[in-house]
Chain A
Amino acid sequence: MAFDQEKDQFRVLGTRPDRPDGLDKVTGKARYGADMSASGMLHGAIVRSPHAHARIVKIDASKALAMKGVKAVVTRADFPDGQKGEDWNIMENCMAGERALYDGHAVAAVAATTPWLARDAAKAVEVEYEILPHVTDVDKAMQDGAPVIREGAANYSVPEGMHPNVVRFIEFGHGDVEKGFEEADVVMENSYTTEATHQGYIEPHACLAQMGSDGRGELWCCTQGHWFVRRMSAACLGIEVSKLRVTPSEIGGGFGGKTTVFIDPVALALSRKADRPVKIVMSREEVLRATGPTAAASMDVKIGMTKDGKMTAGKAVFRMTGGAFPMAPVDSALACAFACYDLENVQHEGYDVMSNRPKQAAYRAPGSPMAAFAVESLVDEMCRELKLDPLEVRLKNAAKEGTKSSAGPTYPRIGLVETLEAAKAHPHFTAPLGPNQGRGIASGYWMNWGGETSVSLALSEDGTVTVSVGTPDIGGSRASVAMMAAEALGVEYEDVRVNVVETGALGVNEPTHGSRATFATGLATIEAATQAKKTLCERAAAKWGIDAEAVIWEDGCAKPSGPNAGEFPPLSIGEICAKMGRTGGPISGHFEATPMGFGGSFGTHIVDVEVDPETGHTSVVRYTVVQDAGKAIHPSYVEGQFQGGAAQGIGWALNEEYIYGEDGRLQNPIFLDYRVPVASDLPMIDTVIVEVPNPGHPYGVRGVGETGITPPLPAIANAVADATGQRLRGLPVSPPKILAAIKG
């Protein structure tokens, strides 16, 4: 599908209409996961392991079941065996089998008539553990003698001789890196670490489950992808997928962390056992202990550079742990590590390592922020060593259309150079700095995604439009989809309503992940609108008694076109729809596909920080995001995604981290101790939207949701180094670390 190069003037795209969900959200009418209720509903609570690694010797629920109002207790024995691969991992994570694998791992659950009773009953469930040795550090988990999380978990890719905790191995590259390093004037190699961080969505996971005695069930939940929830929950319960209907609520943030299940199969199992609806709402502590943070990383990077800033070779060796299960995002981290650079010689190695931590979940550009921290920090160090402008060095080595990417495939049209040029031209880049202040820049990349997509578009009797989509709206996709439908049909934005519908209403939709919703759901909506326009033209042609080919759709009306079409006044969409029942039936459009051509997005960030030399506290005093959006459908939402990514990246860089004690327990499972940035921690984040159209989308759209979290980690570290003269290679660059570095 080629971008419509002839149409560069849009009627609706690029404007900033009100968000369709705004009124409900600011008046409290919007219904989130915990707002759902049902007659006769019970409340669920989960019994969690206090140990990082322990064999479950015995579970005695007799005291809990004896409590008045307690209706059911489930353990792993209440779920069928037989799941394979990732389904087994999901099952094991939702409810431990023989062993608890991390602090907070679910081992049982109860359902009772009130939330307080359920919590008390959960405490009354007696679990006997045999405590086992544990490991939470990625490097230690790979060493000889480290406790083995699970024998036989390694897949085909792991060469013989590695520790059983190494479950995947990845290696790729091109050229001759040793030759490249020989050609360099300076070769530097350093090691970098990042701790696990949580997505930090404001709304904890919540669901309401109802299983009938006929084996069919319904589930209401907050999720980024209800078809995924349906498939995963059905696999855990051992039922056919179509027996479960899942309806998504409004969602208070997801950032990748709500693309899987934690409590949904448990609530369904409790409902099945109690024969009553069961609601489970997680506490913040449960969210931090037992839902997916991202992975922790330990990374070695080596780069060769000539005196004039030409990069001659790059090598990255990354080790990541995504907890007690495979799937740390080391693959995507490596694919993004050197994505910004045109390198003749590049080599990557990656190790996916299991440890006694919660199962990681996707978090906004999974793996890419860590990779950017390592690579972009070293690039900055080398620029300082060679006294070169870090932005000019990036321009000199920038990947562009036709470049062989570090992952191998040749880049199509991309916009990195445009973001660098825009950053260079921005007043921020040359603004003077004050005392104790420093400036950092960094670039980043996310490849984006297409994914299974199904959309229906139906016209009403008055010509207004309803679009049914399967991608929950986590960042404004209802507005962007409505705008694309309005643009395609030639109607007003206000005349389009977009509904996120349940799993029974459409074919399979992948979640809102991979920055795909505006790209893929938008593309499907445009195609569905094209079908509807064809039918509208056919109805007009029938009325006029001319060939359908002699009718065009323009400005929301059917018009005769061509030398033999005749003279007829335009028929509006409302006029045609008013009589659609008598002229052939309802008018609608439908489209489903797994669209390709999703087009990656690059960004470049500039940040100024001020470091207090007495306390080591870092204040972000100015921040500018420059990113390629392809085509910004609703610029305010695009800017919001840029700012949100930057805010989360700032938190990751400065404060956020999972802190484990010697006992393997999480030490900071509340927001007072796990500190995300709040509004008063942040300056106004300036944004520059670059538009290099994606040839794979009719309007040129590129996903914009994830790239924005990638550059902040290195940009902040580079700015702190500029302000203090001290290079910190482990995130977060928190006040104690900075103070220790300053004081020597």
Chain B
Amino acid sequence: MVDVTLWSSMRRFADGQETVSVAGNTVGEVLQNLVTSYPGLEPVIEDGASLAVNGEYAGDSLQMEIKEGDEVFLLQRVRGG
């Protein structure tokens, strides 16, 4: 299981939890399982929300590997320039 910390404006879509635990070995699997466990997060993720894994922004790299114990943040979409 991977512990995912949510930005506070997303917590209302996950029963108010700051950190949720989901299964998954890649960014794509974790995002999919977040939606399965917390359907309210679907529009957040569809909008382009991304994970940061051990300080590295995953962006659109759904294949990026994640393992138990990694630091994982779910961030609302941050647009670059």
Contact = CB atoms under 8 A, between A and B. Distances in A.
B78 A331 contact: yes
B79 A329 contact: yes
A450 B5 contact: no
Interface in B13-70: 13, 43-44, 47, 52, 54-61, 64
Contacts of A362: 79-81
A143 interface: no
Contact of A256 (B52, B64, B75, B81): B81
Contacts of A412: 54-56
Contact of B79 (A327, A451, A594): A327
Contacts of A452: 60
B56 A596 contact: yes
A522 interface: no
B53 to A, nearest CB: 8
Contacts of B76: 157, 170, 172, 331
A446 B80 CA distance: 9
B78 A364 contact: no
A259 B81 CA distance: 8
B9 A173 contact: no
A524 to B, nearest CB: 14
Contacts of A598: 57
Contacts of B54: 409-410, 412
A337 interface: no
Interface string A406-428: 01111110000000000000000
A195 interface: no
Interface in A425-441: none
Contacts of A331: 76-79
B81 A363 contact: yes
A475 to B, nearest CB: 13
Interface string A490-528: 000000000000000000000001100000000000000
A157 B47 CA distance: 10
Nearest to B60: A594
B13 to A, nearest CB: 8
Contacts of B78: 331-332, 335, 447
Interface residues of A, number: 42
Nearest to B13: A156
Contact of A408 (B5, B58, B77, B81): B5
B65 to A, nearest CB: 11
A513 B54 CA distance: 24
B28 to A, nearest CB: 12
Main secondary structure of the interface of A (DSSP, over half): loop
A497 B77 CA distance: 37
Contacts of B80: 332, 362, 366, 447-449, 513-514
Nearest to A706: B81
B3 interface: no
Contact of A594 (B52, B59, B75): B59
A597 B7 CA distance: 21
B55 A366 contact: no
B35 to A, nearest CB: 13
Interface in A331-347: 331-332, 335
B44 A156 contact: yes
A649 interface: no
A409 B74 CA distance: 10
A256 B79 CA distance: 11
B46 to A, nearest CB: 9
Given A331-B78, A449-B80, A597 B56 contact: yes
A605 B38 CA distance: 45
Nearest to A407: B75
A173 B8 contact: yes
Contact of A365 (B52, B77, B81): B81
Contacts of A594: 59-61
Nearest to A255: B81
Contacts of A366: 79-81
A67 B36 CA distance: 61
Interface in A445-463: 446-452
A476 interface: no
A670 to B, nearest CB: 25
A155 B75 contact: no
A212 to B, nearest CB: 33
B55 A332 contact: no
B61 A596 contact: yes
A637 interface: no
A171 B9 contact: yes
B81 A364 contact: yes
B39 to A, nearest CB: 12
Name the residue in A156, A171, A173, A594 with the highest tally of chain B Cβ atoms < 10 Å from its Cβ: A156
B47 A156 contact: yes
Interface in A209-231: none
B81 A156 contact: no
Contacts of B60: 452, 594
Name the residue in A171, A363, A446, A598 with the highest tally of chain B Cβ atoms < 10 Å from its Cβ: A171
A96 B52 CA distance: 38
Nearest to A333: B78
Interface string A390-402: 0000000000000
A169 interface: yes
Interface in A136-176: 155-157, 169-173
B9 A514 contact: no
Contacts of B56: 409, 412, 596-597, 696
Contacts of A256: 81
Contacts of A332: 78-81
Nearest to B73: A408
A649 B9 CA distance: 31
Given A409-B73, A449-B59, A451-B59, A172 B9 contact: yes
A155 B47 contact: yes
A183 B81 CA distance: 37
A232 to B, nearest CB: 15
Contacts of A363: 81
A258 to B, nearest CB: 11
Nearest to B7: A172
Nearest to B51: A409
A447 B79 CA distance: 11
A3 to B, nearest CB: 14
A172 B8 contact: yes
A597 B52 CA distance: 11
A156 B79 contact: no
Interface of B: 5, 7-9, 13, 43-44, 47, 52, 54-61, 64, 71, 73, 75-81
18 contacts: A156-B13, A170-B76, A259-B81, A329-B79, A331-B79, A335-B75, A335-B78, A362-B79, A365-B81, A405-B55, A407-B73, A408-B7, A411-B55, A449-B59, A450-B61, A451-B59, A594-B61, A596-B57
Interface of A: 155-157, 169-173, 256, 259, 327, 329, 331-332, 335, 362-366, 405, 407-412, 446-452, 513-514, 594, 596-598, 696, 706
Given A259-B81, A409-B52, 9 more contacts: A157-B44, A157-B76, A172-B9, A172-B75, A327-B79, A332-B80, A362-B79, A364-B81, A405-B55
